Amino acid sequence: MTIQWRYTTHDNLGVLSVAGHLGGAAVDRFTGAIGWVMARGTGPVVLDLTDLRGWSAGGQLAIAQAARLLAVQGRPLELAAIPADGSIVPDGTHPPVPVHHDLPAALTAHQVSEEQRQWRTTDWPDQANPAQQSRK
């Protein structure tokens, strides 16, 4: 099983939402999503894990690697709504990764305005919602 992702830009903030299970089979897709994020937007990146059903040790390592890659661009990574089965275990090789209780708390912490633009994978869970204004 792989993951689905959605990237939304706000004023000087990006939100990468991930759905599914971030295990070994999904790490390459997650890394590709991080590449997408790095090529678009500015400022901090909130990794929204609200729809993530779980993650493996490899998935957690992929998140730590993403924090390192984004830090090179001066873009801190923050987490929102981590799965109940664990959290990122700091190993001293990645920058600090702040954790927010949920996505609304993260957006409030950054005083975010309305979204500006959105991209997502084809099978994103809420794609049937016609109220969503998004671009693939």
Confidence of residue 11 (pLDDT cuts 50, 70, 90): confident
Question: What residues contact residue 66 under an 8 Å CB cut-off, 6+ apart?
Answer: 30, 31, 34, 47, 77
d(CA 23, CA 57): 8
Query: Is 83 within the bounds of a domain?
Result: yes
Q: Give the domain CATH number at 53.
A: 3.30.750.24
Domain that holds residue 63: 3-120
Give the total number of structural domains in the chain.
1
Query: Is 44 within the bounds of a domain?
Result: yes
- Whether residue 30 contacts residue 62, with contact meaning beta carbons closer than 8 Å, is answered with yes
Query: Is 130 within the bounds of a domain?
Result: no
| DSSP code for 42 | -
Please give the helix or strand (H or E) that residue 79 lies within, else none. strand 77-80
Query: Is 134 within the bounds of a domain?
Result: no
Q: What is the pTM of this model?
A: 0.84
Query: Is 75 within the bounds of a domain?
Result: yes
What is the mean predicted confidence (pLDDT) over 20-41?
94
| DSSP code for 31 | H
pLDDT per residue as tens digits for the range 62-85: 999 999 999 999 999 999 998 875
**3-state SS of 21-34?**
EECHHHHHHHHHHH
Question: What residues contact residue 107 under an 8 Å CB cut-off, 6+ apart?
Answer: 10, 13, 15, 46
pLDDT of residue 136: 37
pLDDT of residue 132: 41
